[in-house]
């Protein structure tokens, strides 16, 4: 069993820690808001007051934070973890940030004799609870092999995708498709509904046919009723779309459907839906179509 540290106990991070505790690992955790972690402390997670204390306590550090600025603060902020890294210690960052930011930290980590990989996931809290996450890892192959058994305690499949930053590129490529698929699915539902087909019937057809990706299957009913708690909100989804568009410009890869979908996310924010699941793009399109939104 591993001695693990975990930084960032949001919806995904906390559920990962729960799985790791159930697998028998020792976990020391940190989150900016301690109250969100109380249920894990009751399950025997040890509490740390800063990222630095996590690094001091653990052999393997995992982190999942909201954006580039948060990751840089975890690494190099006043209580950042890099000064406390020890030789042979491993840092697995599971955040969705730019590949450039992740790569900028690797040299600093290796100066301490430690190593770092980026290991974002494909899936949500739904797939995580089922043990069905895909984890894509960018970093040295020997580090990947050391970490693979631990990561398989979190997800179903773990894939090494090459050098540092490549895991994040795969993640961004995945997430741009999530939003584009959701917008296309919404278009199909609304086209059927305005033709006289009840919305729930259209949902049953489209979520069981050839377009029914795993994302469509578990978000299909969100056009009938939005979830009380977002699986992935508009703000977070748009952050990833902007990362994709930035990378596309850098690499001269046109991303036309990403660009259009990003504008619907902007519209959703303008309509007050920033904290709703990004499936609320259906409501934006429904308003434009003169159709009742999902409640």
Q: What are the tens digits of pLDDT across the range 243-260? A: 999 999 999 999 999 999
pLDDT of amino acid 126: 86
Query: At residue 292, does pLDDT exceed 80?
Result: yes
Fold of 169-289: 1.10.1040
Q: Give per-residue pLDDT as tens, 107-148.
A: 999 999 999 999 999 988 888 998 899 999 999 999 999 999
pTM exceeds 0.95 for this model: no
* Domain 3-162 CATH (choose: 3.40.50.720, 3.40.50.2000, 3.40.710.10, 3.40.50.970): 3.40.50.720
Query: At residue 1, does pLDDT exceed 90?
Result: no
- Token representation of residue 293: 């939104």
Considering the chain, tell me which residue range(s) the CATH 3.40.50.720 domain(s) occupy. 3-162
Give the list of residues 6+ apart from residue 5 with CB closer than 8 angstroms, or none: 27, 28, 29, 30, 48, 54, 55, 57, 58, 60, 61, 62
Query: At residue 184, does pLDDT exceed 90?
Result: yes
Q: Give per-residue pLDDT as tens, 51-91.
A: 999 999 999 999 999 999 999 999 999 999 999 999 999 99
| Of 177, 199, 196, 188, nearest in space to 257 by CA | 177
Percentage of the residues of the chain whose pLDDT score is greater than 70 = 100
State the residue for tokens 């890869």. Answer: 253
pLDDT of amino acid 71: 97
Q: Is 227 exposed, middle or buried (0-12, 13-18, 19+ CB in 10 A)?
A: middle
């Amino acid at each position: 069993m591993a001695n693990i540290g975990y930084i960032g106990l949001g919806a995904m991070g906390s559920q990962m820690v729960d799985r790791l505790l159930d697998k028998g690992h020792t976990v020391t955790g940190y989150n900016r808001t301690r109250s969100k972690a109380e249920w894990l402390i009751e399950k025997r997670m040890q509490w740390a007051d800063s990222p630095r204390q996590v690094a001091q306590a653990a052999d393997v550090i995992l982190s999942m934070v909201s954006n580039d600025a948060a990751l840089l603060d975890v690494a190099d902020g006043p209580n950042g973890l890099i000064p406390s890294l020890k030789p042979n210690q491993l840092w697995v960052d599971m955040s969705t940030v730019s590949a450039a930011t992740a790569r900028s930290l690797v040299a600093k980590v290796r100066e301490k004799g430690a190593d770092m990989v980026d290991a974002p996931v494909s899936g949500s809290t739904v797939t995580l609870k089922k043990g069905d996450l895909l984890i894509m890892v960018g970093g040295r192959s020997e580090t990947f092999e050391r970490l693979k058994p631990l990561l398989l305690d979190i997800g179903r499949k773990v894939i090494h995708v090459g050098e540092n930053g490549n895991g994040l590129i795969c993640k961004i490529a995945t997430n741009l498709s999530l939003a584009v698929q959701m917008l296309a699915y919404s278009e199909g539902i609304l086209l059927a509904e305005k033709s006289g087909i009840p919305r729930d019937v259209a949902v049953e057809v489209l979520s069981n046919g050839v377009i029914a990706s795993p994302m469509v299957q578990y978000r299909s009913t969100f056009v009938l009723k939005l979830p009380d708690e977002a699986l992935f909100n508009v703000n977070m989804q748009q952050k990833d779309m902007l990362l994709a568009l930035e990378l596309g410009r850098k690499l001269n890869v046109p991303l036309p459907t990403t660009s259009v979908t990003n504008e619907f996310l902007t519209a959703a924010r303008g309509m007050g839906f920033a904290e709703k699941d990004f499936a609320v793009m259906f409501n934006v399109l429904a308003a434009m179509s003169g159709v009742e939104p999902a409640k």
